[in-house]
Amino acid sequence: MTDTWNSPEKFNREAAQWDENPQRRAVALEVAKAIIAAIKPEKSMHALEFGCGTGLVTMEIAPLVKTLSAIDTSREMLSVLLEKIKASGLSTIETICADLSSPTDTVGTDKTFELIYSSMTLHHIDDTAGVLNRISKLLSPGGMLALADLDLEDGLFHDDPLEKVHHGFDRRVLAEMLKVAGLQPLSFETIYTFNKTNRSGKTAAYPAFLLTATKIDNKKL
């Protein structure tokens, strides 16, 4: 079956084995480290991760903030995360099965967040401008955004040629899209380089960035 944009089926199928891939665990740790260094999460913050998957990054960030809303479209990914939450005893994480790119999927009533982040999820969402707008509405003024994703790639990173994904992002184009959504880009840094045998059988390097931005506080302008 061909998976469509925002379809949870592929991730539902992969959830039980997701954490077995050492590269996934390694990149998640690097993303968490980079977010902690760049944003300095605080115990007063309500945070939201979209595309949290099995919570590889969630479990690193949650102890540092007040609450963490962990959102994903895949129920199976979330059920792996729920097991981790149970085992850890952390009571400040709520899991929400929702599509962040759908304006009708709620992610907490009238809630805004001081921190929103994601890791390797943006390229799975068809409407980048739309989801950035949604994020902007969900961020409190002066709130922080951290997005980790692939730089523009050769189109061979994903194993399934039929999978609907963006082939990474051009940093300058993404920065412009953020500004249109009312977000001020602050920094881009390369935080990880995937060395992987791509689906043409060649080993190639795929760099990933962490982008940080802030929601413009119109009252301070």
Ligand X SMILES: C[S@@+](CC[C@H](N)C(=O)[O-])C[C@H]1O[C@@H](n2cnc3c(N)ncnc32)[C@H](O)[C@@H]1O
Q: Does 168 bind ligand X (CB under 6 A)?
A: no
Instruction: Return the residues of window 24-63 that contact ligand X according to CB under 6 A.
Output: 24, 28, 50-53, 56-57
Measured torsion, CA atoms of residues 203, 206, 31, 98, in degrees rounded to the nearest 10: -100
Footprint on residues 105-124 left by ligand X (CB under 6 A): 119-121, 124
Would you give the DSSP letter of residue 152?
A: S
Q: Closest separation between CB of residue 15 and ligand X, Å?
A: 8
Pick the closer one to ligand X by CB: 60 or 216. Answer: 60
Distance (Å, whole) CA 61 – CA 83: 17
Tell me if residue 115 falls in helix, strand or coil: strand
Find the part of the chain contacting ligand X (CB under 6 A) among 62-70, 99-107, 182-190, 201-209. Answer: 99-107
Applying CB under 6 A, does 101 fall inside the site for ligand X?
yes
Interface ranges with ligand X (CB under 6 A): 6, 8, 11, 24, 28, 50-53, 56-57, 71-74, 77, 99-101, 119-121, 124-125
